[in-house]
Amino acid sequence: MGGGDKGLLPLDGLPLYRHVLVGLSRQVDKVLINANRHSDQYRLSGLPVVPDVLPDFLGPLAGMQAGLKAADTEWVVFVPCDVPVFPQDLVLRLWEKRLDAAVAFASSGDRDHPAFALLNRSLLPQLELFLSRGERRVMLFFEQMNAQRVVFTAQPSEFINLNTPQDLAAASKRTR
């Protein structure tokens, strides 16, 4: 996306993150936004904005670390800002299908979507150790934590990651 802040890119007149908030706010009581740039624009949502604890934009696990540190609940769900359409029962299904695992993540059967995850705050020490060793791969961390894969029968428009201007244009056409 040319180095732009994906969450702020417009889709049908609203920033991408606002589309995500619509879907997520129907499923949870509290929302935090993890952002390392343009916090003032994200704060326009009226929600708390939490930056990564670690410097240098280390990826999704650093955002998960920041979210786990900032949350005041035992369980925290994570969703990416660049996937505006996801199952309306995402959180419920992750919760119900987690079994005894401290991590549950979404899969559409043929593809895993680890950025859609439910984590217990008790994992914070293990996550911090993992990051301190220079590890960044979400699935490797999840495998080490015996994460539970939760398979969703996704609709064609769900779990589509918007990574290019072409993806964004195609998503706009789908919503019309």
Give residue-wise pLDDT tens across range 49-80: 999 998 887 899 999 999 999 999 999 999 99
What does the alpha-carbon distance between residue 156 and residue 163 come to, in Å, rounded to a whole number?
Answer: 17
What is the 3-class SS of 101-117, one letter each residue?
CCEEEEECCCCEEEEEE
The token pair that represents 140 in the structure block = 């490797």
Mean pLDDT value of segment 90-100: 97
pLDDT band at 175 (very low <50, low <70, confident <90, very high): low
Q: For the chain, list the domains and their CATH numbers.
A: 6-170 (3.90.550.10)
Global pTM? 0.93
| Of the candidate ranges 64-73, 130-139, 149-158, 159-168, the one whose mean pLDDT is the lowest | 159-168
pLDDT of residue 2: 59
Q: How far apart are CA 70 and CA 132, in angstroms?
A: 19
Phi, psi (deg, nearest 5) at residue 110: -90, -10
- Note the pLDDT of residue 1: 53
